[in-house]
Structure 1
Amino acid sequence: MNVWEQVYNPLSNIWLSAIIAAIPIIFFIVLLTIFKVKGYIAGFASIIVAGIVAVLLYKMPAILVLMSAVFGVLSGIWPVASIVFAAIFLYKVTVKTGKFAIIENSISFITSDQRLQVLIVAYSFGAFLEGAAGFGAPVAITAAILVGLGFNPMYAASICLVANIAGGSYGAMGIPVTVPSLLTGLDALVVGRYTALVIPIISFIVAFLLIFIIDGMKGIRQTFPAILVSGVSFGLTQALVLTFLGPELTDIFAAIVSLVALALFLQWWKPKQIFRVNKEKAEDKQVKYSFGQIAYAWLPFVFLTICVTLFNLSFFKNLFIPGGPLEKLVLLLPIPGLNNLVIKHVPIAPMDTPYAAVFKLDLFSSTTTAIFITIIVAIILFRCSGKLLIDITKETSKELFPPVLTICSVLAFAYICTYSGMSSTLGLALASTGEVFPLFSPILGWLGVFLTGSVVNSGSLFAPLQSVTASQIGIPPETMVAVNIMGGTMAKMISPQSIAVAAAAVGLAGKDSELFKFTIKYSLIFLILIGIVSYLIF
């Protein structure tokens, strides 16, 4: 089959081309928000619209459009949907065996005030999971825990989506920073240091925002010292680790320091008024458990943390890379009719470059595998019966079917936008703004994460363009790559993929539009803030 070369300015006017390229994205948002269409229906409709634009305007061969969509669906199934399924399955094992009640009790032992429980679970523990695993697991697990603690499912999902931006820039061992740095030939430590100028401050603000979402200004006044301890310890640790060590362990250290600092502080300080979202449920939590019982209930999550951390360490990953001793255990499946048949051009790529389309099936080294190993450990520890496991499998599959459809349809639509060059058109339009580009630079990262659901993928898509544009206007390329990461992080809470994961975790399949409506305002506020800061300091 003949190769096809991407065209970034099909209307010979970059802004007119960008308006057309934005149609599928706008169409998706309108369906989701105004017409309140279910996520997977909006996703499938957007596939059709993106396909029409790609074929008619960008002259992309229909077979390439089709195979781009297929590649997106496969990427939605593995690793995204598989991680969500495994995380929810593990959570249900702890619930069905009664161990989750002990976990809830242990959290209440630190503090019975549920505003502060959110800081412990969604903010600190969520950031820890983001640093160790990423890819949807933190939101899925922490949202499920909050529902178990008595939170309304919609609020639980929304809170965890917002909280996720505190650690989203450095998830899964810092790869949102290291991958785009590698692609652009920049020093990851330097890029990370530029993000340290903004992200720790945003993390500090998020601690206050979470309490405000739950209980307004009254909640902030009543818990101010605790929020200060949690937010300052988290943000300061982020800044120090980014400055002196790099992005790889930023979330892990920040989460541990903030969790320990808050837990110790709450041993001698308590809010005058204890806030409960469900007062009736509070009565059930007066059971006293021994340290051994609590440790036993937490074992699967302790093991999960160790396992996903191990799986994301460089020495373990290097076993499976090309040339590594276990490379044959990773299946690399080129997508027929797409792999290397699309040619990228300057400035999206340094030179004319074939666009690879290879599906990676890493059954023995992925985060999904780490969670499944933990599930096996939990099954043995808690002596789960075959009938219980069958029931959990049926229940989880039924609940996750609509969200998985959403994830796959959204990624199919996103891959069409990427391989057709529509995403690059939007990027080039923003890059054409010249000296005011730093003001618009975070929008590129934001769009990339909205489309792909991943700060890493957004960096892969737009970091080269950010770097080239920065050099052209006379500022260090590391600055705009860092801004791309920061802008992208602010879109994690509105990414259809993330929303589908959150909705699935709390049993709100089909309620994507409500979650999107709740989180979009916070995402835009932070995006504007980053744009202004970027313009002023860079």
Structure 2
Amino acid sequence: MWPTVALIVPSSPSPTAAIVLAAYEQNPEAVGGSLGLSALVSVVPLAVVLVLLGVLRVRAPWAALSGLAAALVVAILGFAMPFGMALSAAAHGAFYGLFPILWIVVNALWVFNMTVATGHFDVLRRSFGALSIDERTQAILVAFCFGGLLEALAGFGAPVAITSVMLVALGFKPMKAAVVALVANTAPVAFGAMGVPVITLARVTGLPLEQVASMVGRQTPLLALFVPLVLVFLVDGRRGVREAWVPAVVCGVVFAVGQFVTSNFISVELTDIVASLLGAVAVFLLARAQPHAVWAARRPAVAAAGGPGTATQPDSPAEVRKAYAPYVIIVVVFALAQLPGLKPALDSLKLAFHWPFLDVIGTDGKPHSTTSFSLTWLTTAGSLMVIAGIIVALILGVGAWRALAIWGRTVSELRWAILTVAAVLALAYVMNASAQTTAIGLFVAGAGAALAFVSPVLGWLGVAVTGSDTSANALFGSLQVTAAQGAGLPPELLAAANSSGGVLGKMLSPQNLTIAAVAVRLEGQEGVILRKVVGWSLGMLLVLAVLITLQATPVLGWMLP
């Protein structure tokens, strides 16, 4: 039913009489009075995105914009949402995609790009390479630990591109380097880019961030336990597992514990940074404790020409400390912002307002979450990264103009990612505000108990197609919550399952496969790489689906926060 326009007439004649648009009331059965038909029509925008990306290989920005156009048409014609409100919902989603989501990504990558520009990224790479000449240990340190650190700071394919090149430089064959980098880029993804996927998931579902992060932090760490062992097997088969299982297990356990503790009790944004650094330190200390182990064989680090060191002289301890300094600074800045006496004061600096021209009443009779915007502008991860970046620039000797130039170049490099994320969030907000997501969720809830098993598969599919856990959470997060509520399952469990399942689809996404192939100069071999990683992706997805199914029962229900 079309909303009515209410004419407000004052008691006495006045030229200030206003025409006010009545609130839009969500109706999940808007199409033909049928939930099934409404859900079927609501799938159209998602199908447009998935088909364009996965079948027709259209570039992500245009696929996302096409999906947005489809969502607007369905909202206006199918769900009777006023034209102006539909556009306002899209604008709200795009704005949220920019602030705080892309504000985090841009500034995190800016800090990393400063380390590249000053040559300190190369120092860090050599530092990792000097710990051991054993390829199995290098796979753990570079692909898993350092890759996790890169995922924490940048995400969006950067870890795969950088670590695969590093592995080739260390002597790996290109195909093996690509496969190892892709498989390693799993467990850290849900908390990547300073927690952007989980932050997005909390926003689109309306669930508390702490609750969502806590649940994801009780799923992905269990994957992290096994990933280093898988990497060792990929590098050297059964012999590798037999000879290098100790550092793999230690790294996996320490990373998993760090990810669980940080996500549940410390800081969502710092989760992958803490876990990755702890994992690397654990392997480093273990190598010092077992210097004669075959996996710990070492040689002196040799600097490359053009960096802070020379071709014949190792990097100085001061340069090595500078190379690690940015990550220490980030941890300190974020940790200080979490102090009990400081955090409430900083959080009080909030930008909050009702989004203009968007009045939506949800199925519960309350204003829908898409109608309001709120941002703690100083403590959001992107702003804290700016503070950390300024300190990093001072430590690394990057002048103000050069730092600004690097920031501008970072924005330019991310321009297509910025358009894609803004379009995907706009699509998600239109679907959420118009009740399209609710219709699909209520229909899917008919799966009942089987929904817990299927939910991570949906997240896996979303990331496999879009290449982004953030995008998959924006598209399917609200749907998972609606389905969970309809099936009587904990909403935070299925919301987290969407993100946790998504991390396993990352290695199969065309975007990541292309990045890996180009990085190691195997253009055209994406299909070969896909065949080498698909089994690992599906195998771990099955394990995760069983875990989440058990978490929905008394067997592992105690794991829920």
Q: Do they superpose with TM above 0.5?
A: yes
SS in structure 1 of the partner of residue 502 of structure 2? coil
Provide the C-alpha distance between the structure 1 equivalents of 2:63 and 2:537, rounded to a whole number of angstroms: 21
Q: Which residue of 2 aligns with 1:402?
A: 416
What do the CA deviations read for 1:3-53 (whole angstroms, capped 9, x no partner)?
A: 111222334544443332222222212211222211111111111122122
Q: Is the contact between residue 453 and residue 492 of structure 1 (CA under 8 Å) also seen in structure 2? A: no
Q: Which residue of 2 aligns with 1:336?
A: 356
Q: Which amino acid in 2 is paired with 1:461?
A: S
Provide the C-alpha distance between the structure 2 equivalents of 1:417 and 1:495, rounded to a whole number of angstroms: 24
Aligned counterpart for 2:426 among listed residues 403, 412, 428: 412
SS in structure 2 of the partner of residue 36 of structure 1? coil
Provide the C-alpha distance between the structure 1 equivalents of 2:513 and 2:85, rounded to a whole number of angstroms: 32
Larger RCO, structures 1/2 (Cα 8 Å, 6+ apart): 1
Matched, 1:24 2:45: yes
SS in structure 2 of the partner of residue 461 of structure 1? helix
SS in structure 2 of the partner of residue 432 of structure 1? helix
Q: Which residue of 1 aligns with 2:383?
A: 369
- RMSD (CA atoms): 4.8
In structure 2, relative to structure 1, the CA distance for the partners of 1:535 and 1:357 (3 Å cut) is same
Q: Is the contact between residue 504 and residue 540 of structure 2 (CA under 8 Å) also seen in structure 1? A: no
Identity %: 24
What do the CA deviations read for 1:311-335 (whole angstroms, capped 9, x no partner)?
A: 35565442244xx3xx3xx322432
In structure 2, relative to structure 1, the CA distance for the partners of 1:161 and 1:172 (3 Å cut) is same
Q: Which residue of 1 aligns with 2:478?
A: 461
Matched, 1:297 2:323: yes
Q: Is the contact between residue 267 and residue 338 of structure 2 (CA under 8 Å) also seen in structure 1? A: no
Provide the C-alpha distance between the structure 1 equivalents of 2:430 and 2:215, rounded to a whole number of angstroms: 34
Q: Which amino acid in 2 is paired with 1:205?
A: F
Provide the C-alpha distance between the structure 2 equivalents of 1:320 and 1:448, rounded to a whole number of angstroms: 35
Aligned counterpart for 1:100 among listed residues 113, 116, 121: 121
What do the CA deviations read for 1:497-533 (whole angstroms, capped 9, x no partner)?
A: x99899999998xx9xx79x95887666544433334
Provide the C-alpha distance between the structure 1 equivalents of 2:215 and 2:469, rounded to a whole number of angstroms: 25
Q: Which residue of 1 aligns with 2:286?
A: 265
Q: CA deviation at 1:287?
A: 4.0
In structure 2, relative to structure 1, the CA distance for the partners of 1:161 and 1:17 (3 Å cut) is farther
TM-score by length of 1: 0.75
Provide the C-alpha distance between the structure 1 equivalents of 2:331 and 2:517, rounded to a whole number of angstroms: 21
Q: Which amino acid in 2 is paired with 1:318?
A: P
Q: CA deviation at 1:238?
A: 5.7
Q: Is the contact between residue 69 and residue 412 of structure 1 (CA under 8 Å) also seen in structure 2? A: yes
Q: Which residue of 1 aligns with 2:186?
A: 162
Matched, 1:529 2:540: no
In structure 2, relative to structure 1, the CA distance for the partners of 1:175 and 1:28 (3 Å cut) is closer
Matched, 1:80 2:80: no
Matched, 1:40 2:57: no
Q: CA deviation at 1:489?
A: 2.0
Provide the C-alpha distance between the structure 1 equivalents of 2:412 and 2:197, rounded to a whole number of angstroms: 32
TM-score by length of 2: 0.72
User: Gapped runs of 5+ residues in structure 2?
Assistant: 1-20, 169-173, 299-303, 554-561
Provide the C-alpha distance between the structure 2 equivalents of 1:505 and 1:468, rounded to a whole number of angstroms: 39
Report the number of matched residues. 502
Provide the C-alpha distance between the structure 2 equivalents of 1:264 and 1:464, rounded to a whole number of angstroms: 43
Q: Which amino acid in 2 is paired with 1:342?
A: V
SS in structure 2 of the partner of residue 332 of structure 1? strand
- Further displaced range: 283-292 or 411-420: 283-292
Q: CA deviation at 1:415?
A: 1.8
Q: Please identify the structure whose Cα radius of gyration is greater.
A: 2
SS in structure 1 of the partner of residue 388 of structure 2? helix
User: Gapped runs of 5+ residues in structure 1?
Assistant: 275-279, 472-476
